[in-house]
A and B are shown apart, each in its own frame.
Chain A
Amino acid sequence: MLVSITFYLFLVLSVGIFYLIPRQNIRVIWISLASLSFITYHDWKASIVVVILTIMSYQIGRVVEKTKSVRSLQVGIILLLLALVLSKYFGLLSDTINSLLEFMGLLPVIKIEKLFIPLGISYITFKHISYLTDIYWGITKRGTFLSFLCYSSFFPIFVAGPIERFERFNPQVSGERHTLSSSDLEFAFRRIVYGLSKKLILADWLGYFIAHNSFLQQDFMLASIIKLLCFSLQIYFDFAGYSDIAIGSSRLFGFKIMENFNNPYLRSNISLFWRNWHISLSDWIRDYLFFPLGGVSRNKFWNIVLVPIIAMGLCGIWHGAAWKFLLWGVWHGIGIAIYQIWQQYKRAHKKQVAFTKSKIWLVLSTAITFAFVTVGWLWFK
Chain B
Amino acid sequence: MEEILIEYITHEFLEDDSIEIKADTKLISSGIIDSFSLVSLQNFIKDKFGKRIPSPRITADTFDTVNKMIEVINQF
Contacts and interface: CB of A to CB of B under 8 A. Distances in A.
Nearest to A308: B36
Contacts of B36: 271, 290, 308, 336, 339-340
B35 A271 contact: yes
Contacts of B12: 347
Interface string B25-40: 0000000001111111
B60 to A, nearest CB: 9
B42 interface: yes
Q: What's the dominant secondary structure at chain B's contact region?
A: helix
Contacts of A138: 54, 76
B48 interface: no
Contact of A271 (B14, B16, B34, B42): B34
B56 to A, nearest CB: 5
B6 interface: no
Given A271-B34, A275-B35, A350-B15, A291 B55 contact: yes
* Chain B interface bracket (under 10, 10 to 19, 20 to 34, 35 or more): 20 to 34
A212 interface: no
Interface residues of A, number: 32
Given A336-B36, A340-B36, A350-B17, A295 B52 contact: yes
Contacts of A66: none
A126 to B, nearest CB: 14
B39 A303 contact: yes
A313 to B, nearest CB: 15
Given A291-B39, A294-B43, A350-B15, A286 B55 contact: yes
A167 B52 contact: no
A341 B46 CA distance: 23
Contacts of A319: none
A66 B20 CA distance: 45
Contacts of A292: 55
Interface of B: 12-17, 34-40, 42-43, 46-47, 52, 54-58, 76
Interface of A: 134, 137-139, 165, 167, 269, 271-272, 274-275, 283, 286-288, 290-292, 294-295, 298, 303, 307-308, 336, 339-340, 343, 346-347, 350, 357
15 contacts: A139-B54, A271-B34, A287-B54, A287-B55, A290-B36, A290-B39, A292-B55, A294-B39, A295-B39, A295-B46, A303-B39, A303-B40, A339-B36, A343-B37, A347-B13
